[in-house]
Amino acid sequence: MAFKYPIVPLAVLLLLVGSALPAAAQNPPPRPPAPRPRVEVNPAPRLLYRRCSYWYEIQHRPSGTVLFPAQHCWWVRG
């Protein structure tokens, strides 16, 4: 069977292929964001904290006697 108008089948073929190309060129749908990792904080059973002792001491300086604040701190297990 010979076509009288060879342009018609060619036009139909180009129309079918041309309509499939834009669908293939589209980007894939975006993935949903990954769930955020959970960070669990488990404090140690023996926490350390600082205990301090404060006092005023007299210091003798060239300008005269001065009352000066002083402190001493140390770590304590709680």
pLDDT recorded at residue 42: 77
Contacts for 76 with CB less than 8 Å, ≥ 6 apart: 48, 49, 50, 51
Query: Residue 73's domain spans which residues?
Result: 46-78
Name the domain count of the chain: 1
CB 52 within 8 A of CB 61: no
Question: What is the pLDDT at residue 16?
Answer: 65
Residue 30 placed within a domain: no
| pLDDT tier, 21 (very low <50, low <70, confident <90, very high otherwise) | low
15 within domain boundaries: no
Question: Is residue 51, in this structure, part of any structural domain at all?
Answer: yes
Between 45 and 18, whose confidence is greater? 45
Whole-model pTM?
0.36
Q: Is the pLDDT of residue 62 over 70?
A: yes
Q: Tens of pLDDT along 27-37?
A: 888 888 889 88
